[in-house]
Structure 1
Amino acid sequence: MPFRRFDFRILAFWRTRSRRIWFALILTWLIVTVAAAYLAGATARRDASAELGRQSEAAAALHAAVLRSELEKHRSLPLALATDPEIAQLLDAAPGASSEAINRKLEELARQTRAAVIYVIDAKGQTRAASNWRLPTSFVGADYSFRPYFIGAMRNGRAEFFALGTVSGRPGLYLSRRVDDARGRPVGVVVVKVEFDALEAEWAASGEPAYVVDPGGVILITSVPEWRFRTLKPLDLASRQLTLADQTLGHEALTPLPFATPDTNRPSLIKAPLGGVERDWMHSRAGTATPGWTLHLLTPTRGAVERATANARALTALILTLIFGVGGVLLRRRQQAVARERATEAARIELERRIAERTQDLSDANMALNRQIEERQLAEAAREALRDELVQAGKLAALGQIAAGVAHEINQPVAAIRTQAETAAAYLERDQASKAARPLQKIGDLTARIGAITQELRAFSRKAEPRLEAVPLPQAIDGALLLLGGRMRQLGVRLVREKPPANLMIMGDRFRLEQVIVNLMQNAMEALEDTPAPVVTLSILHRGAEIDLIVADNGPGVPADIRDQLFTPFVTSKPNGLGLGLVICRDIIASFGGELSLRPSPAGAEFVITLKAA
């Protein structure tokens, strides 16, 4: 009887211990699951916020780039117009002089550039010409001497000012540039007003509210109209930088936004109302080309952070539940002495199998990665070889087109050599050796000219590895003109060339640069086939560390439908062209660290080769 009580005591002890173990296991599972789910949620929230922040930063940088592009496009207008002699002549004339021609020019220029209005103000502040001269709201005759952009331009040479129009009441950025006469005296100001309606509409269509803030914290450009002229924080009206005198604003103008904008350059999550509903946004900012202007972008989270947090917590809870469930099963098996060894052996075998499979997977992945690397290297080598072949093919194609002109250049010296040889022979038959010396000397000069032409052909046609070095730009131009001189004379094309200094050096490869010049001049000559009095102009602009070589013609110009895709492979306006010549030329100039571009021109085409000065 005592033995049975002892057995019952032992059984009760083991049952109590088993219940305690299971209770501890469940309690541990609850604590670990809650803690791990919280940590996983926090990590997932941080990672999702970081990813959303990177996307928002990229979008803000893209918006800022579009804004910079729009501003830079219009900043060149007042600079170009300030040097227009017709505008300077109008401003130098007495008030009342005819300005119809300038009005028409400004009207057409505003239409082409999509500027809101372009106008010319004399030194007294009176508008002498404007692009809106036909409209009832014409600026012609208006006095703008009080406007800050006029005062700043007359004082400093240029000015930029954002404000509402005194006539239209529409906001915009005024870009002004002073006009000086031939004696350097200021005679007036050229003003271009830029409105951002199209840009704001594009931002609004993206679904990401954006706004641009000036140094004083006032919103100038925004995709949300009701935010315009509001501020990031309460504004001291006595020190605000936006001048709004004599202008009517909404009742909420110069009041803070209904949400706080983070004062940090790093992306941040904020809550902001839009359309009457408060939502979560990722805020980021980016600088612009205008000093002091900052672009702010709100990217909608669309619940991504909350979803990532909830998914991470649920997945963590599920994994830990599975882990602890497995632990419970193992614990149960541990209580069974016979099954314990089997479970341990099975677990060991399974572990070894998984390790072997994982090792094999890693080995296979490593081999696949090595194959991809080798294939990539082979593809890169093939691409480089193909590019060199395209450059060489471009040379040979150019040689084929200039062969007739070169043959004509050689035929003339050969005919002259024959004539001089016959003359020398006649003198020698008469025993007049002194007179025969002059024809023989001319034969030597003509032979040297033929040798120079053929040497240029051989050098131009040979295939060589590109090598960047200091190259005299005049020699490269002379080499190209030596190849093209005969063809230009055959086609009756007149060359207007600005003779550069002999020591003007650039970084590049001479023969590849000659290929680019030959290609551009051949394109110009082909475009001039139906043009009366065809002219090709070569000019050079030295800009400090960069040198521009400009190839221009007076032909019909580049069609507007292919202008934006001109440097895309297989895009051409020639009936039998392949569309690869300009692509090859652009790649060659890019390999020099330069740029090949098409510059807008009122007549004909104007290509600019920008090279680094040596």
Structure 2
Amino acid sequence: MRGPFSVSTQWRLFAAAWSLVALVVVLASGEVARRDARESAGRQAATASTLHAAVLRSELERHRSLPMVLAQDPDLAAVLGRPDAAGAARLNRKFEALARDVRAAAIYALDAEGRTIAASNWRLPTSFVGSSYRFRPYYYEAMRDGQATFFALGTVSGRPGLYLSRRVDAPSGRPLGVIVAKVEFDALEADWRASGEPTYVTDADGVVVITTVPAWRFHTAQPLSADLRRRLAETQTAGSTVPTPLPFNTAGAGLVRISSDIPEGLYAAASDPIPDIGWRLNLLSPSGDAISRAVAIARWLGAMTVALLAALTGILLRRRQRAAARAVEAEQARIELERQIDLRTTELRSANDQLNHEIDERRRLETVRQDLQDELIQANKLATLGQIAAGVAHEINQPVAAIRTHADSASVQLRRDDSAGALRSLANIDRLTERVGVITDELRAFSRKTRSETVAVGVDGAIDGALLLVAGRLREKGIGLERRRAPAGLAVRAERNRLEQVVLNLLQNAIEALEGVQDPVIDLGVHVKGRHVTIHVADNGPGVTPTVRQRLFTPFTTDKPDGLGLGLVISRDIVAAFGGELVLEPSSAGARFTIRLAKAS
């Protein structure tokens, strides 16, 4: 290489220049990444803090109305006005049931002197009944102001909680006592703890009341004043805990450094007010590792970028020297590529011939599969006919017996020259014969093998055909039928006999599921929504077991002792061939199957 410098000197200058560039880029990119990572950690902490605050406000709102409602209870006012053992016992039971329903830790009533006259924990060894709480702020503040909130350790249970109190007044306005509800936040703290972000709530004095780190409870966000320390001791707020400041060190830019109780390191701090009771929620999002990782990645990317640029520059320096070599390599590569193309073309021709053969074989197998599916559907029809044979025979026997009776009547009437009576009997015979014909026509049409070409099919017609075949079994089993007909003239894209077969299968399953059920009922209805029609068949039986539900539409899955587990599979395939779907919908009782089909134009 020609120039004012030798080749070795040029390479030494090249290395020195790019080393200086790499140092500047690595340091600058690290600092930019550190700033961005801190801002991102702050935004993440603020979002999480807002969500936690919303959950806390929701929890507080759910319980705040409880004392206000109970303060209006006439039974409570009566017992506070005139204490008696029977009234207190009734309140004990009422408070016990209410605390269980609303998930309150305790509900109890204090008389005008601060003594507990009834409590939800009256059965427990830690019962509040008979204890005096006139020293607690939730008593004397409620007696003074009408209501109060107070967070403290329970003097009996030793468990922290929020006390919500309301004064109970007589109609004359005279204070009778105070109703108190204690709310514990163990579940809320557990949910916050699962997020991995230390969270704590401070009251108006800066004392930690709710926290995911139990060691922080009743400590303070700033040094305690002598007056606050005295009030905490008088009200027994923190029990034996000696409040001290939290173990935080400010690290700047919204970050704090923690050295105890939780994993050490940097945390992004965020807070949201809970204005209704003067609390503030504080959240610490772990960010030390994220910041370090972001700085390391940014520096690594900066170094890699500089290295890549340096490598490209080095390649350019040697471009002339390697131009001839690249030309030779390119020619050799072209020759090899042409050879590979010829080889690949031969392979593709062979693969194409094999693919055509497989396509022909797949078409043949598809034809065989369709024939087998049609045979299976036909077998299912015949099996279904066998199951309903007794009911259909009963349906036919009744009109046949009536025909015989009317025939005998007509014979007697003719001998008596009662031609009018004979004509009436013959008309009844004609009507009954027509009914038998309808049933036998339906059986013959149902048993006929059909293909699955879709046409416009009347919904009520298909349902009527299925009901005609199971009417006898419904009456025999004493099963009620609640049916909602389709709008007049409603039709779907389907095939009449196969749609009837699906409805019949679902009705058969419902009848069998209702065996032994008291007041059995089948609900059959049709709904139209846009371009889709829904047919549902529901029963009030025991429903489908979870084990069977998971594999319901898998062949040979059934919970019937003598079932094959193919009826629902066949029905689903039939509906799918119509472009619809058959599903088992969630139901509070029994089973509810739904057929969804496209509405005919």
Q: What residue is the counterpart of 2:277 in the other structure?
A: 291
2:259 is equivalent to residue 273 of structure 1: yes
**Counterparts in 2 of 1:217-296, with a 5 A limit?**
217-239=206-228, 243-245=232-234, 247=236, 253-260=242-249, 268-275=254-261, 278-288=264-274, 290-296=276-282
Q: How does 1:385-534 map to 2 (within 5 A)?
A: none
Match of 2:78 among 89, 105, 114: 89
Q: Is the 8 A contact 2:138 2:165 kept in 1?
A: yes
For residue 150 of structure 1, what is the amino acid of its counterpart? Y
What's 2:34 paired with?
A: 45
Distance 2:175 2:153 in 1: 26
- Measured on the aligned residues, the alpha-carbon RMSD in Å equals 3.6
User: Matches of residues 496-575 of structure 1 in structure 2 within 5 Å?
Assistant: 573=588
Question: Using a 3 Å threshold, how does the CA distance of structure 1 residues 241 and 332 change in structure 2: closer, same or farther?
Answer: farther
309, 315, 329: which is aligned to 2:315?
Answer: 329
State the shift of 1:292 in Å: 2.5
Q: Which residue of 2 aligns with 1:317?
A: 303
Residue 202 of structure 2 is aligned to residue 213 of structure 1: yes
SS at match of 2:31: helix
Q: Deviations over 1:477-521 (max 9, x none)?
A: xxxxxxxxxxxxxxxxxxxxxxxxxxxxxxxxxxxxxxxxxxxxx
AA aligned to 2:59 is: E
CA distance in 1, matches of 2:294, 2:56: 33
Query: Per the alignment, do residues 260 and 290 of structure 1 end up closer, same or farther by CA in structure 2, a change over 3 Å counting?
Result: farther
Q: Distance in 2 between matches of 1:87 and 1:261?
A: 51
Counterpart amino acid of residue 203 in structure 1: W
| Contact 1:280/1:302 (8 A) holds in 2 | yes
Instruction: Report deviation, 1:299.
Output: 2.3
**Cα shift at 1:107:** 0.6
Question: Could you list the per-position Cα deviations for residues 377-412 of structure 1 after superposition, in whole angstroms to 9, with x for gaps in the alignment?
Answer: xxxxxxxxxxxxxxxxxxxxxxxxxxxxxxxxxxxx
Residues 209-260 of structure 1: CA distance to partner in whole angstroms, max 9, x if unpaired? 2111122221111111111111222222324596332638587631112223
Aligned mates of 2:60, 2:140 — CA distance in 1: 21
* Matching residue of 1:152: 141
The Cα shift of 1:208 comes to 2.2
3-state DSSP of counterpart to 1:16: coil
Quick check: 1:121 aligned with 2:110? yes
2:137 and 2:150 in contact (8 A); partners too = yes
Deviation per CA, 1:511-537, whole angstroms, max 9, x where unpaired?
xxxxxxxxxxxxxxxxxxx9xxxxxxx
Query: Quick one: distance in 1 between partners of 2:587 and 2:175?
Result: 46
> Where do residues 17-166 of structure 1 align in structure 2 (5 Å cutoff)?
22-94=11-83, 98-166=87-155
Query: For residue 423 of structure 2, what is the aligned residue in structure 1?
Result: none
Q: Give the letter for the 1:151 counterpart.
A: Y
SS of the equivalent of 1:327 reads helix
* Cα deviation digits, residues 328-350 of structure 1 (max 9, x gap): 3334558x8x979x99xxxxxxx
Deviation, 1:286, is 2.3
Distance 1:292 1:54 in 2: 24
Secondary structure in 2 matching 1:79 = helix
Q: Residue 49 of structure 2 aligns to which amino acid in structure 1? A: A
Q: How does 1:337-376 map to 2 (within 5 A)?
A: none
TM-score of the superposed pair, with normalisation by structure 2: 0.50
Q: Computing the radius of gyration over CA atoms, which structure comes out larger, 1 or 2?
A: 2
One-letter amino acid of the counterpart of residue 282, structure 2: H
Q: Which secondary structure state, in structure 2, belongs to the residue aligned with residue 99 of structure 1?
A: helix
How far apart are the structure 1 equivalents of 2:232 and 2:276? 17
Shift of 1:303: 2.1
Q: In structure 2, what residue type is equivalent to 1:77?
A: L
Q: Post-superposition shift, 1:136?
A: 2.6
Q: 1:52 aligns to what SS in structure 2?
A: helix
- Alignment partners' CA distance in 2, 1:165 and 1:252: 13
| Alpha-carbon distance change, 571 to 285 in structure 1, aligned in 2, over 3 angstroms | farther
| Greater mean deviation of Cα atoms: 294-303 or 127-136 | 294-303
Give the 3-state SS of the residue equivalent to 2:248 in structure 1.
coil
Query: C-alpha displacement at 1:35, in angstroms?
Result: 1.3
Letter in 1 for 2:96: E
What is residue 199 of structure 1 aligned with on the other side? Answer: 188
Conserved in 2, the CA contact under 8 Å of 1:283 and 1:298?
yes
Is the partner of 2:296 in helix, strand or coil? helix
Contact 2:114-2:139 within 8 A present in 1 as well: yes
Alpha-carbon distance change, 21 to 56 in structure 1, aligned in 2, over 3 angstroms: same
8 Å contact from structure 2 (residues 199, 281) kept in 1:
yes
Q: State percent identity of aligned pairs.
A: 50
Structure 1 residue 80, shift from structure 2 partner: 1.0
In structure 2, the CA distance between the partners of 1:578 and 1:273, relative to structure 1 (3 Å rule), is farther
In the alignment, structure 1 segments of 5+ residues that lack a partner are: 1-10, 344-529, 531-569, 580-614
Does structure 2 conserve the Cα–Cα contact (< 8 Å) formed by 1:92 and 1:181?
yes
Change beyond 3 A, Cα 1:244–1:72: farther
Q: Which amino acid in 1 is paired with 2:177?
A: G
Q: CA deviation at 1:174?
A: 0.7
- Give the secondary structure class of the aligned counterpart of 1:135: coil
In structure 2, relative to structure 1, the CA distance for the partners of 1:71 and 1:48 (3 Å cut) is: same
CA–CA distance in structure 2, aligned partners of residues 191 and 36 of structure 1: 65
Taking the aligned partners of 1:261 and 1:271, their CA distance within structure 2 comes to 6
Post-superposition shift, 1:29? 1.4
Aligned-partner residue type, residue 299 of structure 1 = S
Q: How many residues align?
A: 339
